[in-house]
Structure 1
């Protein structure tokens, strides 16, 4: 592999679908912590969800974890990548409470209005252009029941150029400590602003507000990732 160049994958992430579960933990700091924080927020705000949508589900690992934590919930999951969904279908084949849809982006979900208690979108919207990102957020708002909970986790953009430089250096160093080569780590952080397009924390909150969410809060942040919850008013 040439210095600073990642191989072309079969999805929009930096990895082939078959390698995703192995690679994500050495790429996203505190990845399992993020998942646990999400489940904690849901336990607090929607402790008994009936219908849960997971968009950008990847290989289905979080859906399995969430279904174990919320055994009465019915899950509908999908991802834009057929390669990811092939793995997800295999993982959840014996989980009748999890339905896997055809490959699609969040903006294309056509489930009924006000049909979901919870929607989760973990590290899946930072590849989108501003208009499509707005459509995805509006679609999530549409599908949520009143009182429903939307959780999104995304790479974020620090507020200053200096902050971006510091954040990318820290992120690169984390990946090297986690076993990546210097070339691999540099290739990943060099995707920032070129292959994925993070928003600032303020821009995330404004996006949620513009979609109709009055309650919208940051509940977790580390390195260059942040998690937000938003509640649809009753």
Structure 2
């Protein structure tokens, strides 16, 4: 039998563990990803800038200003097709490898999940009759097999385990290490920077998935009562066990963030981390209105999101963002990159002068520093890694 790596070296008690061979397979495809980023990305960028753009400009007598103007010509070129193939292949293979690893240890993980939740300090409430919106139920988001809501067994947690292991593996140290909680720490840092005297007593985290960001937010506000909701039952079962294993009391419930069952004005802080890029435009606006409804006067909503803003990107970076929508089952990322967050928040009921938007440098732990916030982009990264897009607003 292959030796299994000790969870003390990788994660928490319910984190799926890899054998030597499973880890070697993951590392192989992570290396392929790094090689592609380092060697093929620059070539593809040159292809676009030095070949495709001049060709399109010559054919149309106009300099292309949007990725939509060059997509057809770029995708017809063999080099770009090679880039697309590699980008999809290494990600799919990592998913497949981790999924097989979880299948191998599923019964063992089930025992650990049951053990961690046998005497909970938090809670879990599921709704088997909850209607799943099409923008979640119809896609395997970021090509994750089964996505967030599919149960494969009774009391299933597979989706949560798969998401946890993949996200910590795929990003490694780029989003808080194995905890994958950099978004939560970035959000909390934003709150501490711009609302330093704010002490919420009751917090709601929307679209919490397995609660990585929720745990980080809870650590920033240890005296607050923390609630977290998501549509996916297997995500919540796993997230509940994960939070219990980490000793953090969180009240998880299966709900739609567009229309929760909480009372009006029942929270001081409502948050989300990388939720809106997997939400339809109509759903996003409904969720913003729900945030306004749920907040007490003086309460704050704060969201961090994937950072691409088309107005700040080169043509190739626009294409890289669009790739997520066209090929990586993130169909709303491109539209979100063009969305005016201030306008959406204002129409949801927040006063324009109380809405703050901009990039926030990603951090692996709480870091109060307004120099990490910027409004027009930053050389350390404003595309898919390196920073997040932050939006906060205080209810009048």
1:40 paired residue number: 189
Report the CA distance between 1:168 and its aligned residue. Answer: 4.9
2:301 and 2:284 mapped to 1: Cα distance?
A: 14
Q: Computing the radius of gyration over CA atoms, which structure comes out larger, 1 or 2? A: 2
1:161 and 1:48 mapped to 2: Cα distance?
A: 34
**Structure 2 segments unaligned to the other structure (5+ residues):** 1-84, 93-142, 150-157, 177-181, 361-381
Select which of 157, 163, 185 maps to 1:20. 163
On the 8 A contact 1:157/1:198 being kept in 2, the answer is no
**Structure 1 segments unaligned to the other structure (5+ residues):** 173-185
Q: Give secondary structure in 1 for the equivalent of 2:244.
A: coil
Moved more, 147-156 or 190-199: 190-199
- Relative to the length of structure 1, the TM-score reads 0.76
Select which of 251, 266, 278 maps to 1:99. 251
Moved more, 28-37 or 218-227: 28-37
1:168 and 1:210 mapped to 2: Cα distance?
A: 30
- Structure scoring higher RCO (CA < 8 A, sep ≥ 6) equals 1
Moved more, 20-29 or 140-149: 20-29
Verify: 1:217 aligned to 2:361, yes or no.
Answer: no
1:133 paired residue number: 284
Specify whether residues 192 and 168 from structure 1 end up closer, same or farther in structure 2 by C-alpha distance, changes over 3 A only.
farther
1:178 paired residue number: none
Q: Give secondary structure in 2 for the equivalent of 1:209.
A: helix
2:390 and 2:172 mapped to 1: Cα distance?
A: 13
Report the CA distance between 1:164 and its aligned residue. Answer: 5.6
Q: How many residues align?
A: 215
Report the CA distance between 1:141 and its aligned residue. Answer: 0.7
On the 8 A contact 1:122/1:154 being kept in 2, the answer is yes
1:220 and 1:28 mapped to 2: Cα distance?
A: 22
- 1:64-89 C-alpha deviation (Å, 9 max, x unpaired): 22222211100111111111101111
The CA RMSD measured in Å over matched residues stands at: 3.3
Q: More helix by proportion, 1 or 2? A: 2
Report the CA distance between 1:100 and its aligned residue. Answer: 1.2
1:123 and 1:231 mapped to 2: Cα distance?
A: 20
2:172 and 2:345 mapped to 1: Cα distance?
A: 23
Verify: 1:230 aligned to 2:230, yes or no.
Answer: no
On the 8 A contact 2:164/2:210 being kept in 1, the answer is yes
Report the CA distance between 1:55 and its aligned residue. Answer: 0.9
Q: More strand by proportion, 1 or 2? A: 1
Report the CA distance between 1:28 and its aligned residue. Answer: 10
On the 8 A contact 2:185/2:217 being kept in 1, the answer is no
